[in-house]
Structure 1
Amino acid sequence: MTSKTVTPNIRTFTTLVDGLCKDGEVKKARNVLAIMIKQRVEPNIVTYNSLMDGYFLVKEVNKAKQLFNTISLRGMTPNVRSYKVMINGLCKNKMVDEAANLFKEMHSKNMVPDTVAYNSLIDGLCKSRRIYDVWDFIGEMHDRGQPANIITYNSLLDGLCKNHQVDKAITLLTKIKNQGIRPNIYTYTILVDGLCKNGRLRDAQEVYQDLLNKGYQLDARIYTVMINGLCKEGFLDEALSLLSKMEDNKCTPDGVTYEITIRALFESDRNEILYIFIFL
C-alpha cells in the first residue's frame, strides 16, 4: 500500500497493529509502529492500547507496564480502555494488587469503570482466593448502576468452590436466580466441579440430572467434569457409561476427557478395557 499512491492513515495502521497483536505477532506490530512514526503518522491512544494488550498476550508484562507508564510522555492520557487492558492483563498474571491500585487510580481521576473492568478485577481476586474483597466491589457495582452479571457471579462461584465453601456457592446461585439472572452452562459446570472436588458426588449427579431433565444442551466441559468426579471416587463403570452417553448425545469428547478416562483405566489395572479403549 505504501509503495502506491494510497497512503495508510492512522486508522489503517492501528487496525493492522491491533490485528497483529491479537495474533501474538507483537514484534511485527512494533515494526508497523516504527513505519508509522517514520511516515509521520502519529500513533494514538488506541494504537498503544492494542500494543499493551499484545504485550500481555505474549507474557511481556513489564513492557506493557512500561508502555502504560510512559503514555503521558508521548503527549497522551490513558483512557478507560487503557486501564481496562492493564487491569485485565495484570489480573491474568496474578498481579492483583497492582490491578487494584490502577482501579483506585481510575476513581481518583473520575473515570468510571465499566462491568468488564469490574469483572476482570473480581476474577483476579477470586483466583487469588481473596473472596472477602469481592463483596465490596459487587456492592460498589450496584451503587454505580452497573450491577453484577452472570460473568461476575461465575467468578465468585468458582472462587467459593475452590475455597471449599460449596454451601455458600449454592446459596449464591439461588440468590442470583431469584434476582432474575439466568445461569449458563458454565455456571453449572463450576458448581458440579466444586461438588465433585468437595466430596459431594451424589449432589453433583443430582445437578447434572436436573440439567438433563430441563433440556440443557450439555457441552464437553461439563461431561468431563462429571466423568472426572466419577473416576476419582472409583466409579469407573459409571464414568465409561457417561462417556458413551456423551458420544450418543453428539457431544465430542476432547483431549482432557480421554486423558482422564485413560488414566483412570490405567490406575485401576483394567488393561483389557484400556487396550480396547485406545486401539478401537
Structure 2
Amino acid sequence: MRPWGWAASPHKGKWQRSFGVLQAIQTFKKKVAEEPNDGANYLSILIDCFRSYNAEPTPSAYSFIIRYLFRRHMLSHLPPVLDHLEKAERFDVPERIFVSVIRSFGRENRLHDAVDIFRRIPNFRCTPSVISLNALLSVLCKSKEGLVLVGDVLLKTPEMNIRLEASTFRILIKALCRNGKLNSAIEILRMMSLHDCTPDAKLYSLVLCSLCIQAGSDQVVEFLEEMRNAGFLPNALEYNSVIDVLIREGKANDAYSFITLMRLEGKIPDITSYNSVLDGFILANDFQKADELFDEMLLIGLFPNSATYNTYINGLCKQDNLELSRQMITCMERAGCKPDIETFNTLLAGYAKAGGMAKAKELMNEAIDKGLQWNSHTYEILINGFISKGILQVN
C-alpha cells in the first residue's frame, strides 16, 4: 500500500529526474574510468549514458569530462566536447566551468586557447564577469609571452560588458612590477580612478618596494611623495627600504632626513633605520655625524646590536683609532651584545692595514677563546696583511 499522498506529490517528477541524472553521472564516470585507450569518443559516451536514463547531460557532467581530459592530457578530445556544449545544449553554462578551463589551459601553457575560450563565453549562454577576466589575466601575467596578449584582452572587455575592478588592477600591477615595467605599473595605478577604483595602501606599498629594488632614488622619493599625498603614510619597513636606496647612492644626509620624517609622523625608527644611516655616514667618512647618530640612538633608547657595533668599529678603524676600536668589544659585552666573527674581522682588517700583524694574530686567538671560528674573510684579511708586509711565511 502506497503512503497517503504519494501519487499526488508534485515533487515526484523532479525527484525521479534528479535520481536519473545522478545514476547517469555515476555510470558515465565508471565507463570513462574503464576506457582502455585514448581513442574513445568521450562525447558519445556522455550522451549515451544520460540517454539511457532518459536524462540530459548537466553542467556537472561536462565539468567532470573537461577536468578528466585535462588531467589525462587528452586535449585533442576537448574541442568536440566544447562545441557540443556551445551549440547543442540549451542550459546556461556556469561561469565557473570557463574559469576552470582557462586555468587548465594556463597550466598547459596554451595561452591563445585560454584567450579564445574567454572570448567565446557569451556563445555558451553565459555572461562573463570580472571573475573569468581575472582568471585569464592571472594566467597571462605569469609569463612574458602572456603579457603581450594582455593589452588586446583588455581592449575587448568593453564589448563583453565587463567592468574592471580593483582586483583586476592588482593583478596587472603585480605582474608589471615583477617584470620590471615600473613606469607602466605607476601609470595603471594612476588610471584606477578613471574606472571608479581607488588604490589601497597595499598597491602603493607594492610599487614602492619594487621601485626600491629596481629604480634610482629620485624616482623612489618622487613616488613616495605621491603615496603620501594619496593619504598613505609608509610604515617603518617601507621607510627603511627608501633609506637603503639613498645609502646605496651615497646620500646619507637625505637618508637621515627620513628618520626625522618618521619621528614627525609619530613612527619610531628602529635599529635597522639607524644602522643603515650610520653605515652611510661612515662610508662618506663623515665621522662626526656618525658619532652624533650613535649618541642619538642611545638617547632615544635604542639598543645597538652587533651590526651597529661592527659598523661603528669600522668607522673607528677608518680613522686609525684602533685602540678605541678594540675597547668597543668590551663595551659590546657589557651591553649584553656578543661580538661575532665579523666584529673581529673588522678589527683585524684595521690592524692589518696599519701593519700591526702581531696585534692581528692576538685578535685571532682572542676570537677563538670566545668560541668563534675563523671564516674565509678572516684568512683573506690575514693573507693580504702579511703580503703587504712582505712576510711570506707565518709562524
What is the TM-score of this pair, normalised by structure 2? 0.53
Q: Secondary structure at the match of 1:193?
A: helix
- Residues 61-72 of structure 1 correspond to what in structure 2 (within 5 A)? 61=180, 63-70=181-188
| Preserved contact between residue 157 and residue 191 of structure 1 (Cα < 8 Å) | yes
Alignment check: 8 A CA contact 2:306 2:339 kept: yes
Distance in 1 of aligned mates of 2:371 and 2:174: 39
Picking from 188, 197, 202, the partner of 2:318 is: 197
DSSP 3-state at the match of 1:148 = coil
Structure with the greater alpha carbon radius of gyration: 2
Q: Distance in 2 between matches of 1:211 and 1:153?
A: 17
2:279 paired residue number: 158
Q: Kindly indicate whether residue 142 of structure 2 is the aligned counterpart of residue 30 of structure 1.
A: yes
Moved more, 254-263 or 129-138: 129-138
Change (3 A) 1:214 1:150: closer
Q: Determine whether 1:115 maps to 2:239.
A: no
Selected match of 1:170 from 272, 291, 297: 291
Q: Deviations over 1:125-159 (max 9, x none)?
A: 23323233234422321222212111111111111
Contact 1:142 1:148 in 2 (8 A): yes
How many Å separate the matches in 1 of 2:376 and 2:174?
33
1:201 is displaced (CA, Å) by: 2.0
Structure 2 CA distance for partners of 1:31 and 1:133, relative to 1, 3 Å: closer
1:3 matched to 2:71? The reply is: yes
**Structure 1 residue 187 displacement after superposition:** 0.8
Task: Give the Cα–Cα distance (whole angstroms) in 1 for the partners of residues 277 and 101 of structure 2.
Answer: 45
**Distance in 2 between the 1:64 and 1:200 partners?**
45
- Equivalent runs, 1:55-204 vs 2, <5 Å: 55=179, 61=180, 63-70=181-188, 79-93=200-214, 95-204=216-325
Report the residue type matching 1:30 in the other structure: K
Instruction: Give the structure 1 partner of residue 338 of structure 2.
Output: 217
| Residues 1:269 and 1:178: Cα distance change in structure 2 (over 3 Å) | same
Which residue matches 1:26? none
- Identity, in percent, stands at 22
Q: Deviations over 1:30-76 (max 9, x none)?
A: 349959x99xxx98566566656655xxxxx4x34444544667977
2:352 is aligned, of 223, 231, 242, to 231
SS at match of 2:290: helix
Instruction: Give, in whole Å, the separation in 1 of the partners of 2:143 and 2:271.
Output: 40
Displacement of 1:215? 4.5
Distance 1:100 1:266, change over 3 A: same
Unaligned stretches of 5+ residues in structure 2: 1-66, 73-99, 107-140, 154-164
Question: Distance between the aligned counterparts of 2:168 and 2:376, measured in 1?
Answer: 43
Matches within 5 A, 1:3-22: 3=71
Aligned length: 248
Q: Which residue of 1 aligns with 2:383?
A: 262
Q: How far, CA to CA, are the matches of 2:340 and 2:175 in structure 1?
A: 34
TM superposition shift of 1:166 = 1.7
Report the Cα distance in structure 2 between the residues aligned to 1:196 and 1:8, rounded to whole angstroms: 64
> How well do the aligned residues superpose, as a CA RMSD in angstroms?
3.7
**8 A contact 2:169–2:188 mirrored in 1:** no
8 Å contact from structure 1 (residues 161, 169) kept in 2: yes
In structure 1, distance between residues paired with 2:190 and 2:71: 33
Shift of the 214–144 alpha-carbon distance from structure 1 to 2, 3 Å rule, reads closer
Q: State the SS of the aligned residue for 2:71.
A: coil
Aligned to 2:362: 241
- What is the CA–CA distance in structure 1 between the aligned matches of 2:207 and 2:319, rounded to whole Å? 34
Once the 2 structures are TM-superposed, how far is the Cα of residue 94 of structure 1 from its aligned partner?
A: 6.3
Q: Which residue of 2 aligns with 1:271?
A: 392
Counterpart amino acid of 1:134? A
Deviations 1:200-257 (A, max 9, x none): 2222122123223445322222221111111111111211221232233232333222
2:370 and 2:348 mapped to 1: Cα distance?
Answer: 15
CA contact 2:243–2:273 (8 Å) conserved in 1: yes
In structure 2, the residue corresponding to 1:173 is in which secondary structure?
helix
| TM-score between both structures, scaled by the size of structure 1 | 0.72
Aligned-partner Cα distance in 1 for 2:265–2:303: 22
Letter in structure 2 aligned against 1:3: R
Instruction: Tell me: CA distance 1:227–1:85, structure 2 relative to 1, closer, same or farther (3 Å).
Output: farther
